[in-house]
Structures are given as structure tokens and as C-alpha cells.
């Protein structure tokens, strides 16, 4: 028997609220399967399980807020029998919050049923469902969270998504169509009251992680001005004849360039945990994305160094869309090995980031703008340039290596055809 615990989904997460179980007691699960949806301070996250097994008991009910590390469920390993697991674990505390005990004594099963049914104990409670529903409802995590905030019964909503799934837009339409009595849970005050609390949670989570970063990580900072004329020209040619929806953006070129340069500077790509640096196996780049309700989040794009630009661009667009809709996976929250922040579309000259622990570096890009430039012949001209920044952890690298990283990044962006 093994335990499925609430994972940490970043340095700014201390606890989470279980929104939904995607499995029930007795279900067989497989590695990588989404089994639960957990609300953090920033988003609703699909939680995956990383071992095959069979659900023995759900230890936390939907709606409960629990600390990171809490046992959410207990499972049987493949081939393990429930009776043997219970016999060996009846007195062991589960996560410090609950004790796994034997189920109530049932009448002895008939010989015919013993072979097929006696191996899985009957749980004391079934998977919790939303009020007013008798079965699991197909609904996105963001829509479920919004419905809970507004006090809407998801069982009464009509879905317009794939296979009738309820989307965030469906919840918002249902809320707008509701009558507005002078009192009761659906009044405007009741519907909007949780929003400030949500915003407060987001700001508190960000403040906690950034305070820890500045307190524990010895930052150093470097800036590099990069000419972007060749990148712009190549991008314009690559986008000729493409529909707007499939055009490449400069952000994709910058992400790919960072990922490729990291291959030569692995000390900037990884995590610092328990006093040791752990290099990442690939460039899993956290992309800083602003949230509509305020704050930001940096989920990971996986294996960016291996993705062609025509694959990277739609992957980036999809990640931004799902982040702002509150629909992310656990691996996207936990796997980032470096962060890239781009504030060019905000008109910012340069951005100097704060490292997101336990990462050891963050790369920033400002806006691409026409600026005075001295060319190789010593002539003065006007060239589009961008200011790239690097904030890195002095426990793992130093300014010399950081400077070489930015220099290589500059040179690679002069050869956009190599991306």
C-alpha cells in the first residue's frame, strides 16, 4: 500500500483546497493519470499520480483545505490484496491527519461472492459530489471554482464544451441570467465578496516566495543589449502567407534561443534543493504569465530545446490560454527549471527578475524598440534592439559564466534560421 499526498506545486504553495476527485474508491489508476483537481492560491491544478495502483480509500473530501504533504488517498500497489494491506497498516497514522482503520464488520460473504468481491473493502464514504448532483459532472476546474464562488449548482448548468462539458463561459452566462433578489446567496455582494480574498491569497503567495528568494538566494544581475533586425526580418519572412492564428511571435524565438543556449550553460538550468544543485535533464522553461485577476504564474513548457518553432508557438499560446482559464497540470506547475519573463508588450525598457526558488536563474526581455547603434564600421545608425537580463544564483554560477550566457544568446538571435 502507498500514499498519495498533496504535492508542492511551487515555492509559494503551502496548502491547497481539494476541488474535485476524478476517481473513486476501487478505481484502477495509471501513472500520469489526473486523479484530482486542487486549488492553489493562483490556479486550479490537475493533479497526476505517478504510480500504478488501485484506490483503497479517499482521505480528504472535496472542499477541504489541507497543507502540502497531507495524504489525500491510500492506494494498493498492483497485485496487492486489500486484506493484507489493512492487516499491516491498521495502526499507522496517515499523513498525521487521519488513521487508516479497518472498515466496519460486514456479514460474511457467500462463497460465490467471496472470490470476486472480498478483495476490495467497502469505503465508508463515496467520492464527494457537488450539491444537487448524483454523478460526476464534466466541468473545467476554473468553471467549478467559479461556480463555487458564485454559489451555483453545477448540476443545473448546461455545458457548451466538448461532450457537453461546462466551461467558464457557461458559468458566467448562468450567473448573469440569474434573478437578483434583494437577499440570499446570489446577491451581487455575496457573489463578488470572495474576489478580494482570492486576490489577497495571490499577493500573499507571491510575496512569500519572493521574500524567501531575496532572503536565501545570493542574486547577481547582468544586462545585455541585443540587436534584433535579423530576427525581425526572418520572422516577417516566416510569417508571409500564414494565417494570423499560426504566425510566429518574437516571444517564441526568444524562448527557443534561451533553451538552446542553456545546453552550453547547464548550471543555469536546474534546482537548488537541500544545499545541492540538481541540473535539469532538459529545458523546462517556466513562462511568466499575468493573470486576469492580478498576479502572475509561471507554468512550464517542457523540452523547449527540442521543439520546432511551429510546435513551440501553438504550445505557448495554449499554455497562456489555459493558465488564464485556471486549467493547468501538476507537471506544468512543478517542472520548471528556469523562468523567462517578457514584458516587452507592456512597453517596458528592461525587466530584472527575482529568481523563483528552487530555480537558480531567471531571464528577462524588455520591448524591441529602435535605438541608436554603432555598426561594425563605426557608423551611427538606428537598429531595433532588446535588453535581455539575467538574474542568477551565486551559489551555482558567477558573473563570468552569466556574461558568456548572455553573449551566446545575443549571437544566436543573430542567426534566427538556426532556431
pLDDT tens digits, 294-323 = 788 899 999 999 999 999 999 999 999 998
The percent of residues in the chain predicted with pLDDT above 90, rounded, is 45
Structural domain count, the chain? 2
Q: Is residue 147 part of a domain?
A: no
Last residue in a domain, options 56, 90, 117: 117
- State in Å, rounded, how far the first CA of the chain is from the last one: 47
Residue 197 confidence class, pLDDT cut points 50, 70, 90: low
Q: Is residue 42 part of a domain?
A: yes
Position 186 pLDDT exceeds 70? no
Higher pLDDT, 394 or 197: 394
Q: Is residue 298 part of a domain?
A: yes
What pLDDT is stored for residue 353 in this prediction? 94
The CATH number of the domain holding residue 370 is: 3.30.559.10
Instruction: Mark whether 254 and 382 lie in a shared domain.
Output: yes
Lookup: cell for 158: 448546461
Instruction: Mark whether 111 and 244 lie in a shared domain.
Output: no
* Mean pLDDT for the chain overall: 81
Pairwise CA distance, residues 148 & 94, whole Å: 29
Last residue in a domain, options 72, 88, 117: 117
Q: Is residue 200 part of a domain?
A: no
**Most distant CA pair in the chain, distance:** 95
Q: Is residue 122 part of a domain?
A: no
Q: Is residue 251 part of a domain?
A: yes
Asked if 72 contacts 60 with a C-beta cutoff of 8 angstroms, the reply is yes
> Other C-beta atoms within 10 Å of 413: how many?
25
Q: Answer whether 0.85 is exceeded by the pTM.
A: no
Instruction: Mark whether 99 and 247 lie in a shared domain.
Output: no
Last residue in a domain, options 117, 133, 148: 117
State the residue range of the domain holding 71.
Answer: 2-117
- The residue written with cell numbers 461472492 in the block is 113
Pairwise CA distance, residues 210 & 352, whole Å: 13
Q: Is residue 201 part of a domain?
A: no
Task: Kindly state the helix (H) or strand (E) to which residue 115 belongs, with its residue range.
Answer: helix 111-117
The string of pLDDT tens digits covering residues 263-287 is 999 999 999 999 999 999 999 999 9
The string of pLDDT tens digits covering residues 283-293 is 999 999 988 77
Instruction: Mark whether 265 and 405 lie in a shared domain.
Output: yes
Instruction: Mark whether 233 and 378 lie in a shared domain.
Output: yes
Instruction: Mark whether 102 and 233 lie in a shared domain.
Output: no
Instruction: Mark whether 112 and 224 lie in a shared domain.
Output: no
Instruction: Mark whether 91 and 229 lie in a shared domain.
Output: no
The CATH number of the domain holding residue 67 is: 2.40.50.100
What DSSP assignment string belongs to 296-361? EE-PEETTGGGS-HHHHHHHHHHHHHHHHHT-EEHHHHH--SEEEEE-GGGT-S-------TTB-E
Q: Is residue 184 part of a domain?
A: no
What pLDDT is stored for residue 388 in this prediction? 97
Lookup: cell for 99: 488513521
Amino acid at each position: 500500500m502507498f500514499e498519495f499526498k498533496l504535492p508542492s506545486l511551487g515555492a509559494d504553495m503551502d496548502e491547497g483546497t481539494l476541488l474535485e476527485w476524478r476517481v473513486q474508491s476501487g478505481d484502477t489508476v495509471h501513472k500520469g493519470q489526473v486523479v484530482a483537481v486542487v486549488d492553489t492560491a493562483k490556479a486550479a491544478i490537475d493533479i497526476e499520480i505517478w504510480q500504478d495502483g488501485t484506490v483503497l480509500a479517499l482521505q480528504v473530501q472535496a472542499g477541504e483545505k489541507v497543507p502540502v504533504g497531507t495524504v489525500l488517498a491510500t492506494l494498493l500497489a498492483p497485485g496487492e490484496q486489500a486484506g493484507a494491506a489493512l492487516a499491516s497498516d491498521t495502526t499507522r497514522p496517515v499523513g498525521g491527519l487521519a488513521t487508516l482503520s479497518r472498515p466496519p464488520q460486514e456479514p460474511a460473504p457467500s462463497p460465490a461472492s467471496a472470490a470476486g468481491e472480498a478483495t476490495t473493502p467497502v469505503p465508508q464514504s463515496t467520492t464527494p459530489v457537488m450539491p444537487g448532483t448524483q454523478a460526476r459532472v464534466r466541468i473545467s476546474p476554473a468553471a467549478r471554482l467559479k461556480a463555487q464562488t458564485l454559489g451555483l449548482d453545477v448540476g443545473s448548468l448546461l455545458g457548451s464544451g466538448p461532450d457537453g462539458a461546462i466551461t467558464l463561459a457557461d458559468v458566467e452566462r448562468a450567473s448573469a441570467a440569474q434573478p437578483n433578489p434583494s437577499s440570499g446567496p446570489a446577491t451581487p455582494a455575496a457573489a463578488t465578496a470572495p474576489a478580494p480574498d482570492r486576490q489577497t491569497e495571490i499577493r500573499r503567495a507571491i510575496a512569500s516566495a519572493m521574500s524567501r528568494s531575496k532572503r536565501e538566494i545570493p542574486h547577481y544581475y547582468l544586462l545585455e543589449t541585443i540587436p534584433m533586425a535579423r530576427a525581425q526580418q526572418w520572422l516577417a519572412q516566416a510569417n508571409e502567407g500564414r494565417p494570423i492564428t499560426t504566425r510566429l511571435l518574437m516571444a517564441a524565438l526568444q524562448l527557443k534561443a534561451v533553451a538552446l543556449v542553456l545546453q552550453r550553460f547547464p548550471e543555469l538550468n536546474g534546482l537548488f534543493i537541500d544545499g545541492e544543485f540538481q541540473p535539469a535533464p532538459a529545458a523546462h522553461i517556466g513562462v511568466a504569465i499575468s493573470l486576469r485577476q492580478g498576479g502572475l504564474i509561471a507554468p512550464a513548457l517542457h523540452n523547449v530545446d527540442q521543439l520546432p518553432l511551429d510546435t513551440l508557438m501553438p504550445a505557448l499560446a495554449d499554455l497562456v490560454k489555459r493558465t488564464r482559464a485556471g486549467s493547468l497540470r501538476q507537471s506544468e506547475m512543478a517542472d520548471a527549471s528556469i523562468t523567462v519573463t517578457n514584458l516587452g508588450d507592456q512597453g517596458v525598457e528592461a525587466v530584472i527578475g527575482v529568481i523563483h526558488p528552487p530555480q537558480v536563474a531567471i531571464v528577462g526581455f524588455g520591448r524591441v524598440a529602435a535605438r541608436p547603434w554603432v555598426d561594425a564600421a563605426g557608423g551611427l545608425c538606428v537598429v531595433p534592439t532588446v535588453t535581455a537580463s539575467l538574474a542568477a544564483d551565486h551559489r551555482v554560477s558567477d558573473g563570468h559564466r552569466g556574461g558568456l550566457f548572455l553573449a551566446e544568446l545575443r549571437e544566436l538571435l543573430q542567426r534566427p534560421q538556426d532556431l
